[in-house]
Structure 1
Amino acid sequence: MQNPSQDKTNWMLYKRLLGYLKDYLKIFAIAVVSMLIVAATMPAFGYLLKPLINEGFVDKNMQRMTWLPLAIVGLFLVRGIFNFVNEYCTTYLSGHLVHRIRSEMFEKMMHLPSNYFSSHSSGRILSRILNDAGLITEAGFNVITVIAKDGVSVLGLLGLLFYLDWKLTLITFAILPILAVSIRLVSRRLRHLSQINQTYLGKMMQVLNETINGVRVVKVYGGKQYETIRFQNTSSSVRRNSVKQAAASAIGTGFTQLMASVALALIIYIAAKQAASSSFSAGDFMAFLSSMIMLFDPIKRMTGVVQSLQRGMAAAESVFAFLDEPEETDSGLQVLTEKPANIEFDNVVYQYEGAERYSLNGINLTVPTGKVVALVGASGSGKTTLANMLPRFFDPTEGQIRIGGTDIREFTVDSLREQMALVSQDVVLFNGTVASNIAYGRINKASEADIIRAAKAANAWSFIQDMPEGLQTEIGENGLKLSGGQRQRLAIARAILKDAPVLILDEATSALDNESERLVQAALENLMHNRTTIVIAHRLSTIEKADNIVVMHEGRIIEQGTHAELLAKGGRYADLHNLQFAFDQEDPDRAATAAAT
């Protein structure tokens, strides 16, 4: 049996779902009334069968036969009209419900903290928004429609059966407790299988997403068979689970029909014996038998809807759990001004969830207004984590980050990020035009002349002019139609166009050839003038002019100073510089790799 806590959970889910109906109460009322009218036509048809048989075929009363066929036609005309109204209204409401929930989920996703995406697969997030939100309609209007319409039909037909012969009808009620127990057991099984199925669907979407995004790597490294097997295994899990759900549902439906057939057999036998007496006419028997048979379909649908209900309830649990996820903290009340003051990292400590050691451990650093501070060090030394602290992608585990003496948590997140531009080594572009990608964040605010100026400053205008439609050329998903260097330069142009007073450059020139790097570096130097800039660089030649070079190792700052001062110290920076300079004489690409490791 289903425990009381599960019943309470179901009620809370339905209560929350019904809350979405408050803006559509009139349409919902029309849908419900239409359902009831459609449902009432079934027992009405059963009732008409009695005079149709008695008057028409037994008593040969042709006067009554003139209006009974017309009454049946009128009855089904009414049924057809209101069935259309019901279907239209419920589909309209279902569509609005799914749209609203998906919109809320997408908006919620925009406000989730960065570490949520580190601990949850993109496939499961996609599955929740696309699949689970759609399944909610099965727990909502589809189930309401079946239960309301078929429930009223069943009640009406049972009432008619009682009217015709209450003794025979009691046989029907004898099977109800047995059916109730079987439905409960099937419901628990289907809820469990539905929850498992949603996990499998998320994994399958994850495999698809990874394979599509990494198709070139898959092909070059011969991973086609591996990815095919991985997808087939996940798809097979979905298939097996679907079969289990269908089997559980079929067993429940089959058992219900078996019990109904037993009841029907008994009724036919007893009714046949009663037919010998004058108290039970042929019309009574035909009306009773037809009404009993008409009970099968609504009972079958009401039993079968259990699968849809449990699948929808499991989806509702998933969706509402997602909507209830804590958002990134934004308790700040102050608005950051257009010209931020000095940036101070005060004893900043950070540890990723589940990590064994600190990614940042006691960082103390000042970035003066309008100056350039470069972060260098081996991969995993904490450079990117430190830079990500500034726009509050992560908050410190301990310590503070201040701007102008104010903890950045005192500022609103939007106003803080409004003053920053970011160019990372993992370039993110969107499936649109060159112009829309450069103007991202300022769409409908930047003129074509502004976009062209930014493209020229990033050394991107020359290749843009050579494209088939110039600025209006579609670049494909994440810029797949562009080279790595072209993608990087579009990202730099986007940062230039934003013209933010604080710049974060994470390997902004990593994908450029030597000539493009030289031109873009010159553009970045002009852009960095009088702007507070944090530069993360593996290629040390790009940060020699920085006002302060910070050398990091295992989450700590081990030395800092200007290029000349650090070389004179002969420490870690000098070792990295000498190693890279030596490799530059042989192979510039190897030099950058050596510096990164």
Structure 2
Amino acid sequence: MKKSLFTVAGKSLTFAWNTNRKLFLLIIFLNLFIGSTVYVQYTSFASIVDEIVKIKEGANNMTPLIKSAIMLGLSFLIPTIASNILAYSRVVFRMQQSLHLEMYKIEKQSNLDIGTIESNSYQTLLRGAKEWGSSSVLNLQDFVFTSASSFAGIATSMVILGSLNKWLVLFAFMAAAPVYFFYKKYSKEVFRVRYLSIDDQRIIGNRISHFEELQKAVDVILLQLKYWLKEQIFERKNSYNKKIAEAEKKKWLSYGLLSVWYLVFLFAAIALMTREALAGTIAVGGLLLAFNTYTRFYQTINSYVESISFTEEAARYASKWFELFELKPKIISNKDALRFTFNQAPLIEFKNVSFRYPNEDGARPYVLQNLSFTIKPGEKIAIVGVNGAGKTTLIKLLCRVYDPTDGSILINGTNLRDINLHDWHEALGILFQDFPVYNSTILESIGIGRVSVDINQIKVKEAAVFSGADEFINNYNQLIWKDFKDGVDLSKGQHQRLAVARMFYRNAPVTILDEPTASIDAVTEEKIFASLEQNMEGRSVVLITHRFSTVKNADTILVLEHGKIIEQGMHQELIKREGRYAELYNMQAKRYLEDMQKHVLQPGLSE
């Protein structure tokens, strides 16, 4: 563990202190108070026993007995009231803390750049943190609160035992001394088994999801995957359980030895107490007080040390969250970054741009090599090529998800690195192939295309018409997702039309579309691209697509292969060259014609 328990707990307490200082101090005080009152009960009861013995021996004064009885009653009543107040305070405080922590976590994660989030190291760190969830951070605060109660109990018991016989303090500490080392050793072993099994747990979770998620469950039934999946789940889960069981077995065998060690010192303490009672050094009540205090002391030490071991385990996971919190984005605005308001589409120039993805384990091969091209203001540019050619990576560089490894990207003659990142993102409208689905109303799903202003319903409806989404929208306040009351599920194609509508609504100076019609039928696709030409006048559009029929009207077509631009020009120009573009276009056109012929000859085939 990179950070000690107390370092991580200290960071956790910072959240507690900043959330609600008054409530924090109240909980600490109540824990201290409750932790010490149990010994007031023991003392009061011992006094009652001694007073009864005196009365039996002939004493006539009942006042001390009544006072001790009242004190005993109060020692039960007041802590009960305090415990109720503490329970309520901790529930309220934990809710406040949970909200505070969640907001802080979101704030930190949202400030990271996409490149960091995509990295394997970040994803591994996130998986480790999620193993216990953010509750591990809150558990550390609970440990501090219970520590206050334990310390109060330990301190009070030491005072009582020391006043009766100093040897009792020594015996109590000797009996409790090995507890910490046993718990620490075996909590680490259990953690190690769990941490090293993260990948197995991910696979188990993935396999179980095939029985819970609708699309995967269909395959389980139709492809008869039940036994294959069950076998994998059983084998991995059983192997994991055996490792945990082995660690727990060692743990509890050791605790058996620990119990024998405790009994040795307990008998020594009882012998000492008995001798003192027979010698008349302590009264009968004092004997009861000594025994109860001694056993209570050990129980307090034992439970506290056990909580330390569990807390250390929580700290290992909480430390992963703090490592996430401490991450800094790699792609940021320079201190002297230039501020721009892009009311019109800018001139974009790629100059000798090469790029390879960062890798913690060493350099990776180049994904893009020596790219040079220009996107003029208002130009419609298409980027085509087979899978793995580097099309999406090129777009990520333009969005400044990453910076080029070599070369530069200029915006109106200014290096993109020198432009304020927020201003540049404001100029972009981006629709990636793996677009998110927003489970909200249809109005909001389109309107979030520009959340910096109030949603304009007229423009939302206009955007829906441009994307063809208006064909299935009956009510713009309709909730998307069947899990909502009165909510509806949409097809993937319908979701994609809403995503395209978001881009129309955003109406950004530079609109980037990565396979925007992959799940849309040919008729709707034609309508969308017609809308792009008609309603994006003066806006630059960058289109990535595998469908060559959609790029014919682009002002410029870039053909990428193995990270290099191998052809560049307009559709007719590239067809006449009879190069790679013409080859891919004709291949796709031929396949399309063959499919059309099959449909005509066998109209029921596609139904």
Q: Could you state the TM-score of these two structures normalised by the residue count of structure 2?
A: 0.87
Tell me the matched-pair count: 582
Question: Counterparts of 1:134 and 1:395 in 2: how far apart (Å)?
Answer: 36
Structure 2, unpaired ranges of 5+: 599-607
| Shift, 1:329, TM fit | 1.3
- Give SS of 2:282's match: coil
Cα separation, partners in 2 of 1:411 and 1:429, compared to 1, 3 Å:
same
Are residues 407 and 103 of structure 1, via their aligned partners in 2, closer, same or farther at CA, if it must alter by over 3 Å? same
> 2: CA distance between counterparts of 1:251 and 1:132?
30
Any conservation in 2 of the 1:207–1:231 contact (CA below 8 Å)?
yes
Closer, same or farther: CA 487–279 of 1 in aligned 2, 3 Å: closer
When residues 542 and 185 of structure 1 are mapped into structure 2, their CA distance, relative to the original with a 3 A threshold, is: closer
State how 1:255-274 maps to structure 2 within 5 Å.
Answer: 256-274=258-276
Whether 1:400 aligns to 2:398 is: no
C-alpha contact (below 8 Å) 1:347/1:363 kept by paired residues = yes
Q: Which residue of 1 aligns with 2:418?
A: 410
| Aligned equivalent of 1:382 | 390
Deviation of 1:398 (Å): 1.3
Quick one: which of 504, 518, 534 aligns to 2:542?
534
Q: Which residue of 1 aligns with 2:339?
A: 335
Alpha-carbon deviation of 1:348? Answer: 1.0
Aligned-partner residue type, residue 379 of structure 2: K
Q: Which residue of 1 aligns with 2:355?
A: 350
Q: 1:321, 1:124 → 2: CA distance? A: 8
**Map of 1:501 onto structure 2:** 509
- 1:202–1:101 Cα change, 3 Å: farther
Letter in 1 for 2:136: L
Give the secondary-structure state (helix, strand or coil) at the position aligned to 2:132.
helix
Distance 1:475 1:565, change over 3 A: same
In 2, are the aligned partners of 1:382 and 1:555 still within 8 Å (CA)? yes
Give 1:462 shift.
1.6
Which residue does the alignment assign to 2:295?
A: 293
CA distance in structure 2 between the partners assigned to 1:491 and 1:173 by the alignment:
67
Contact 2:176/2:301 (<8 A) preserved: no
> Could you tell me whether the CA contact under 8 Å between 2:353 and 2:368 is conserved in 1?
yes
**Residue 79 of structure 1, CA deviation:** 1.1
- SS of the aligned residue for 2:513 comes to strand
Counterpart Cα distance in 1 of 2:492 and 2:182: 61
State the AA in 2 paired with 1:34: L
Of 286, 303, 306, which aligns to 1:304?
A: 306
**Aligned mates of 1:222, 1:564 — CA distance in 2:** 50
1:169 Cα deviation from its structure 2 partner: 3.8
1:81 deviation in Å? 2.1
Select which of 431, 436, 449 maps to 2:444.
436
Q: Which one of 7, 12, 16 corresponds to residue 12 of structure 1?
A: 7
Distance 1:98 1:475, change over 3 A: closer
1:453 to 462, 468, 474: 462
CA distance in 1 between partners of 2:445 and 2:597 (Å): 29
Where does 1:42-81 land on structure 2 (aligned, <5 Å)?
Answer: 42-60=38-56, 61=59, 62-81=62-81
AA matched with 2:571: H
What whole-Å deviation, never above 9, does each CA across 1:499-531 have from its counterpart, x for those lacking one?
111111212222222222222221122233221
Report if the CA contact (8 A) 2:180-2:306 is conserved: no
Q: How does 1:562-573 map to 2 (within 5 A)?
A: 562-573=570-581
What do residues 473-504 of structure 1 show as CA deviations (whole Å, max 9, x unaligned)? Answer: 42459999222322221111110011111111
Q: CA deviation at 1:245?
A: 6.4
Q: Counterpart in 2 of 1:276?
A: 278
Separation of aligned partners in 2, 1:41 and 1:77: 10
Report the alpha carbon displacement of residue 292 of structure 1 after superposing the two structures with TM: 1.8
Structure 1's 317 and 208: CA in aligned 2 closer, same or farther, altered over 3 A? farther
> Hey, what does 2:478 align to over in structure 1?
472
Aligned runs of 1:119-268 on 2, under 5 Å? Answer: 119-120=119-120, 125=126, 128=129, 131-140=132-141, 142-186=142-186, 188-189=188-189, 192-193=192-193, 195-196=195-196, 212=213, 215=216, 218-219=219-220, 220-233=222-235, 235-236=237-238, 239-240=241-242, 243=245, 247=249, 250=252, 256-268=258-270
CA contact (8 A) 1:10 1:313 kept: yes
Distance across 2 between alignment mates of 1:177 and 1:233: 40
| 152-161 or 360-369, which deviates more | 152-161
Q: Which residue of 2 aligns with 1:595?
A: none
Deviation, 1:207, is 5.5
The one-letter code sitting in structure 2 at the alignment partner of 1:105 is K
Residues in 1 aligned to 2:287 and 2:371: alpha-carbon distance in whole angstroms: 90
CA offset digits 1:108-164 (Å, max 9, x no partner): 322333334444487973773583310122222x21133221222122112111212
Task: Give the Cα separation in 1 of the matches to 2:594 and 2:254.
Answer: 75
User: Are 1:555 and 2:551 an aligned pair?
Assistant: no
Q: CA deviation at 1:235?
A: 4.5
Distance 1:199 1:356, change over 3 A: closer
Q: Is the 8 A contact 2:209 2:216 kept in 1?
A: no
Q: How does 1:78-97 map to 2 (within 5 A)?
A: 78-97=78-97
CA distance change for structure 1 residues 229 and 308 in 2, over 3 Å: closer, same or farther? same
* Aligned counterpart for 1:577 among listed residues 582, 585, 595: 585
CA distance in 2: counterparts of 1:433 and 1:295, whole angstroms: 60
Residue type matched to 1:25 in 2?
Answer: R
Query: Which amino acid in the other structure matches residue 15 of structure 2?
Result: Y
Deviation of the 1:190 alpha carbon: 5.2
Mapped partners of 1:209, 1:326: distance in 2: 33
Q: Secondary structure at the match of 1:331?
A: coil
Change (3 A) 1:221 1:496: farther
SS in 2 for 1:439: helix
Amino acid at match of 2:112: L
CA contact (8 A) 1:377 1:553 kept: yes
Contact 2:98-2:138 within 8 A present in 1 as well: yes
- Kept in 1, the 8 Å contact 2:383–2:558? The answer is yes
Worse overlay, 479-488 or 296-305: 479-488
**Partner amino acid, structure 2, of 1:66:** I
CA contact (8 A) 2:443 2:477 kept: yes
Encode CA deviations 1:79-113: one digit per residue, 9 max, x unaligned.
Answer: 11222333333443333333323322223322333
In the TM superposition, what is the alpha-carbon distance from 1:246 to its structure 2 partner? 5.0
Q: For the structure 1 residues 426 and 73, does the alpha-carbon distance in structure 2 shift closer, same or farther, using more than 3 Å as the test?
A: same
Q: Conserved in 2, the CA contact under 8 Å of 1:189 and 1:248?
A: no
User: What is aligned with 1:594?
Assistant: none
Find the residue that maps to 1:161 and give its secondary structure: helix
| Farther-moved stretch of structure 1 (540-549 vs 44-53) | 44-53
Three-state SS of the structure 2 residue aligned to 1:77 is: helix
Distance 2:245 2:118 in 1: 33
Change (3 A) 1:284 1:512: closer
C-alpha separation between the residues in 2 aligned to 1:193 and 1:586?
A: 57
Q: Which sits farther off after the overlay, 277-286 or 210-219?
A: 210-219
2 CA distance for matches of 1:530 and 1:521? 15
More off after superposition, 15-24 vs 357-366: 15-24
1:39-61, CA deviations, whole angstroms, 9 ceiling, x for partnerless residues? 22122222223321121145335
Q: Secondary structure at the match of 2:285?
A: helix
Change (3 A) 1:176 1:514: closer
Letter in 1 for 2:463: A
In the superposition, the TM-score normalised over structure 1's length comes to: 0.88
